[in-house]
């Protein structure tokens, strides 16, 4: 049975915006997109006053941090980490489950259909990766969790306390187990794993290098934090005698199978290398602003040829986790850096969709509304008091008040309808979160 969504504006992100168009879904794929009414049989839903877009893609997150919001409010990144590591060291399955449910519910309710998560705190005896994968499955979001790692504790010159780092053999055993059990390379996959040592100041050179070799043997993607703050640059110059990106390149970490969070502090030469190697960037504009890290050179990276997706980052450095709002934040940050013509509304939407799909290696299946792509899509009501009267629907979405979608479909299934989460009880999720956060 075909499902026909029509009577709405449609921003395909593949080149066309229709003021009045249709999208048709059969099973979990898009089978037609175009202007006007769909000339065929199926179950029709008229979405007058709405804009249909591809589902948004979140490229960087730490779901567990949802339980530790509002701490270290005036801190730099390093001060903030040092205050929070001991709190995070006590995480367990129950806390992660509550935090992941709340974080993924916030993403779905803000129009995100595919989420990545970077989890790197693994106390012994807790099967945390499994917990968040189960939660993603329950809530019905497409999920790209990263098996993170840290092996450079404070006694070896790193930033995290020794109690939260793992030894390298345990890390590689965990990488293998995660890939064997959860990674699905097949078309339409709902769960794919990436490998993600945490950052230059919490991971040894050996772990970085060996993780890259191992990921390439297994054909999976690589992720880490990069060039987030000036303190990180100073750390790398002192410890490795190189700037962060030089260090990364030296370890074999630039390439089209890598995407990196932040990349705020890049030289012109480094921006060009990102473009040449098609290395992806997860831009987290609210988190960078919250920590006063700086403004990433997003449009110079895009012009150089690098994919730049958006991320909400962990909720301890962005007390909100709604991806819809990051479109506006990305556009405002780009214009603060580059002036009023630096980024268009259409470009902001493209970052959150097509570029996000490129970062996660899913460009062939996600990120645009085109025939053959997976049915991950969102419709936003734009004729209510918040958005009515803004002439251009994409501008209404990006520049208007924080958008919350009326409907969200993931893999052909309705997950949000009438602006309500259908796959979970939001009040119960909030109660559970409040309980564990208190603990």
| Residue ranges in contact with Zn ion by CB under 5 A | 261, 313
Q: Which is nearer to Zn ion, 272 or 295 (CB)?
A: 295
Q: Which is nearer to Zn ion, 261 or 416 (CB)?
A: 261
Q: Which is nearer to Zn ion, 313 or 411 (CB)?
A: 313
On the 0-12 / 13-18 / 19+ scale of CB atoms within 10 A, 154 is middle
Min. distance of Cβ 58 from Zn ion in angstroms?
12
CB 252 within 8 A of CB 227: no
Min. distance of Cβ 351 from Zn ion in angstroms?
17
Q: Which is nearer to Zn ion, 51 or 333 (CB)?
A: 333
Query: Residue 115: how many CB atoms within 10 A of its CB?
Result: 31
Longest dimension (CA), the chain: 68
The stretches of 223-297 forming alpha helices (DSSP H) are 230-240, 244-250, 268-277, 285-290
Distance CA 187, CA 189 (A): 5
On the 0-12 / 13-18 / 19+ scale of CB atoms within 10 A, 186 is exposed
Min. distance of Cβ 224 from Zn ion in angstroms?
9
Min. distance of Cβ 313 from Zn ion in angstroms?
5
Min. distance of Cβ 263 from Zn ion in angstroms?
12
Q: Which is nearer to Zn ion, 221 or 373 (CB)?
A: 221
Of 102, 41, 177, residue with least CA distance to 434: 102
Q: Which is nearer to Zn ion, 75 or 390 (CB)?
A: 75
Min. distance of Cβ 208 from Zn ion in angstroms?
16
From residue 424, give the alpha-carbon distance in Å to each of 76, 145, 345, 429. Answer: 35, 20, 32, 8
Query: Residue 303: how many CB atoms within 10 A of its CB?
Result: 11
């Amino acid at each position: 049975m075909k499902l026909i969504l029509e009577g709405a504006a449609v921003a395909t992100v593949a080149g066309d915006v229709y003021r009045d168009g249709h999208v048709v879904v059969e099973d979990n794929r898009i089978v037609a997109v175009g202007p006007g009414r769909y000339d065929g049989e199926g179950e029709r839903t008229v979405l007058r006053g709405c804009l249909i877009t591809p589902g948004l893609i979140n490229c960087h997150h730490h779901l567990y941090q949802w339980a530790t919001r509002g701490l270290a409010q005036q801190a730099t990144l390093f001060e903030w980490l040092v205050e929070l590591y001991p709190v995070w060291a006590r995480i367990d399955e129950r806390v992660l489950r509550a935090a992941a449910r709340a974080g993924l519910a916030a993403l779905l309710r803000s129009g995100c259909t595919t989420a990545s998560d970077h989890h790197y705190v693994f106390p012994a005896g807790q099967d945390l990766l499994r917990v968040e994968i189960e939660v993603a499955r329950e809530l019905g979001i497409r999920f790209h969790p990263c098996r993170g790692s840290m092996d450079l504790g404070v006694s070896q010159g790193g930033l995290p306390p020794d109690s939260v780092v793992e030894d390298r053999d345990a890390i590689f055993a965990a990488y293998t187990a995660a890939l064997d059990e959860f990674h699905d390379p097949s078309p339409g996959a709902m769960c794919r794993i990436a490998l993600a040592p945490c950052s230059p100041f919490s991971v040894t050179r050996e772990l970085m290098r060996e993780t890259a070799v191992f990921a390439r043997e297994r054909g999976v993607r690589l992720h880490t934090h990069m060039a987030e703050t000036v303190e990180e640059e100073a750390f790398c110059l002192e410890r490795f005698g190189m700037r962060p990106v030089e260090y990364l390149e030296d370890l074999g970490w630039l390439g089209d199978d890598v995407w990196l969070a932040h990349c705020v502090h890049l030289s012109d030469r480094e921006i060009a290398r990102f473009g040449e190697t098609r290395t992806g960037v997860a831009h987290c504009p609210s988190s960078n602003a919250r920590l006063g890290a700086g403004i990433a050179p997003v449009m110079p990276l895009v012009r150089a040829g690098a994919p730049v997706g958006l991320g909400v980052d962990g909720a301890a450095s962005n007390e909100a986790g709604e991806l819809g709002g990051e479109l506006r934040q990305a556009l405002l940050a780009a214009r603060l850096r580059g002036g009023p013509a630096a980024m268009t509304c259409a470009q902001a939407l493209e970052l959150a969709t097509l570029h996000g799909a490129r970062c996660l290696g899913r460009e062939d299946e996600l990120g645009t509304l085109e025939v053959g792509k997976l049915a991950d899509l969102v419709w936003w009501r734009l004729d209510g008091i918040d958005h009515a009267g803004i002439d251009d629907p994409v501008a209404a979405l990006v520049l208007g008040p924080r958008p919350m979608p009326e409907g969200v479909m993931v893999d052909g299934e309705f997950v949000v309808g009438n602006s309500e989460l259908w796959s979970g009880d939001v009040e119960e999720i909030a109660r559970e979160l409040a309980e564990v956060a208190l603990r």
